[in-house]
Every structure is written in structure tokens, then in C-alpha cells.
Amino acid sequence: MKTIATIGGAIVLLILLCIYLCSYSLPEQHAAIITEFGKPTGPTVTQPGLHFKLPVIQTVNLIDLRMQEWDGQAVQMPTHDKLYMIVDSYGRWRIRNPLLFFTRLRDTRSALSRIDDIAGSEMRDAVAKNDLIEMVRTDKNRKVENDTDPDNTNSEENVTTSTLPPISIGRTAIEQAITANAAAKLKDFGVDLVDVRLMRLNYQASVTDKINERMISERAQIAARFRSEGEGAADKILGDRDRDLAEIKSAAYQKVQEIQGQADAEATRIYAEAYNQSTEAVDLYGFLRSMQTLEVVANNNTTLVISTSGDLFKYLKSAEPK
């Protein structure tokens, strides 16, 4: 019985081994190329699931059909206006014809190397045929706002520090041309180049400082102009304030003088009327004025020397009891 069980187990293991060697699983978004001694045989398998092959003789080569990235190297290139730029680019690609791709390139590493050659060559040609401004500006229809005086936006005397030259195509059109030209050449390898983009444009290190100095100088000119105009506006505001303040003070002083004049005139009139009254009224007025004076100059510690002929002594003398 043990022998029969052992033989049965061996048969089961042999069957499982044969199934393992004769079958393979194809994932989604993949294709399989079956080769015999390195040469493709049969149609390309694209249906995901379980499939079978001849053991040992046939080999399964999986091809990824999903979107893949291409990251180009940053390369120094001359533009049409003789400016040496460091251009960094990237792109997206996928395998359109798995059998042709496997026959011509075999693997992804070879595909990326071929994309580097073809897309990089098209990139250099495009950069050499266009000025720098064409690659900086995205679209020729895009409006660029220049630096203007914000207080005179509708004036014909607006001063701009710099004006960008017009462009004929723009970076978007250049990228589309690079993609189209490179994609046409990569079709022969079963590769579909979806797009190529300019990721970064940099000046050479030797000219970066000069560019920065020029930008700083332009910004400093704008700042100086705004600062000068602000100081002029501030001086005008302060001048208007001082003028208005002087006018207010002058009007207030005039009003005060008028009121004081009217008060003095009214006091003089009252004095005149008082002196023109009867003797009793005059004596009463003089008495009250004398008492007010005495209240101001005299206190508990005051010693007065009063003349007997003075009005104050007269009123004090008359106040003595009879």
C-alpha cells in the first residue's frame, strides 16, 4: 500500500510539474511572444488568462503594453539666436506592435536607448531652428503683460521696461513637431511615442549670473521709478495738508479776533451804560469791582497798605459800624 501511495504521489507531482511547465498566466495590459530557440513562433497572445505552451522548447516573453515614461538627459544645445541652453525633456510612450518591438528591440532598455537617440536628435534639430523666445512662450496667441505704471493704465504715456518680441509658433507647436517626427521613426520599432515635452530650459552657468544681474537691474529701475513717484505723491499730499492746515488756522484766528472784538465792543458798551446811570448805580459798580480786586490780591497772610484817599479804603471805611 505504501508503494502504491508513493507512486500515486509521484504521478500527481509529475502532472503538476507538467502543468507548470506547459502553462503560463498572462496579466492584463500585457502581451506574450512565444519563442522557440530565440525565434518567435505563432501569433502574439494578448488575451489575459491561462495559456499553454510546449515545455522546455518554447519560452514566454511578456511585453508590457501600458503607458511608460521616458526621461531624457539634460543636454546643452545651441538655439537659432546663438544662445547655448541646457534642455531637459521627458515623454510618454507605449508598445503598439509587440511582435515588431520584440523582433527589433527585444526589451524596454533597448527601447529607451532608441528613443533617446531619435527623440534627442529631433529635439536638437528643433532647438537649433528656433530662437529661445519660441521655446519660452507657450503659444503665439497668448498675451504677455508688460510692467506698466498702475496709476496710468489708460494713458498713452505708459512706460514699459521691456517688451518681448513676437513669436511665430511657440513651445507647444515645437513639442508637437518633435513628437510627430520622432513618432514616425519609432513606428518601425513597434513603439508609439505619445508626446515629448520640454521640462526645463536653463542658461549655462557662465551666463546665469549676467542674466540675473540684468533682471535685478530692470527690477531696480522699476522699483526706483515707483519709489520716486511715491515720494512725489507724498510730498504733494504733505504740501496740500500744510496749505489746508494754514487756511484752517487763518480762518479760525480771524473768527477768534472777530469774536473778541465783538466782546470788547459789548463790554465797552456795558461800561458806558453803567457810568451813565445814576450815582447809586455807579457807586454799586465801583464797590463790586473793588471787592473783586480785594478778593484776588488778599488772603489770610496778606498785609495791605491802603491810602486813605483811595477808593478801596473809602469802601472799607464806609463799611465800619456807626
Q: What is the pLDDT of residues 54-110, one digit of tens each?
A: 887 888 889 999 999 999 888 888 888 888 888 999 999 999 999 999 999 988 999
DSSP3 helix / strand / coil % (the chain, rounded to 5): 55, 20, 30
Q: CA-to-CA distance for 281 and 272, rounded, in angstroms?
A: 12
Quick one: CATH architecture of 68-145+167-203? 2-Layer Sandwich (3.30)
Tell me the pLDDT tens digit for each residue of 143-167.
655 555 444 444 444 444 456 677 7
CA distance 129 to 132: 10
Looking at per-residue pLDDT, the higher value among 56 and 249 belongs to 249
Contact 196, 89 (CB under 8 A): yes
* Structural domain spans, the chain: 18-64, 68-145+167-203
SS3 category, 67 = coil
At residue 259, the pLDDT reads 92
Contacts of 280 (CB under 8 A, 6+ apart): none
What letter does residue 97 receive in the DSSP assignment? -
- Model's pTM, two decimal places? 0.58
> Is-contact 34 59, C-beta < 8 A?
yes
What is the reported pLDDT for 157?
42
pLDDT at residue number 179: 94
Q: What gap in Å lies between CA 19 and CA 119, rounded to an integer?
A: 44
